[in-house]
Amino acid sequence: MNFRLFKILTIILSFFFLTGFVPILSFVGPSITALTSGSIYKASAQFIINQHIEKETGKNSLTLIKESLVEETNKKVQKNSFDEDFRKLVEARIKMTRQKLDNQNLQKLLKKRIEITRLKLNLNNTTQ
């Protein structure tokens, strides 16, 4: 008797899972809620909310949440990518500005050295 019941359950379960009959999964969540909490009201509210979400979006609640999390993750990645590109651009500009300032400071230092050398050698009166 038990083996026969097992065979029947196996055939029914394989029918549900192998034929793509997925709407049975929409009953599994509320039934688990009803069994664990003992509240039919919670289970029926969960079922009604899931049906309303599916009617509005065409997706079940799990798919909707998954897609929204993926979109949010993609936005963060794009934002981080933009931030990284912006940081690199700013760093490059800072390096260029430092190099220009160093060149200006080097030119000022060079002019000072030339003036000091001219003064020491008394070359101010001489033109090149």
Per-residue model confidence as pLDDT tens digits over 25-51: 666 666 676 677 667 777 777 778 888
The DSSP secondary-structure symbol of 123 reads -
Per-residue confidence (pLDDT) for residue 59, from 0 to 100: 81
Of 78-82, 96-100, 108-112, which range is least confident? 78-82
Tell me the DSSP string of 13-79. HHHHHHTT-TTHHHHHHHHHHHHHH--HHHHHHHHHHHHHHHHHHSS-HHHHHHHHHHHHHHHHHHH
Domain ranges of the chain: 2-121
Distances from the Cα of 66 to the Cα of 28, 53, 71, 87, 111, angstroms? 19, 14, 9, 31, 67
Residue with the larger pLDDT of the pair 74 and 29: 74
The average pLDDT across 55-66 equals: 81
Is pLDDT at 126 greater than 80 in this prediction?
no
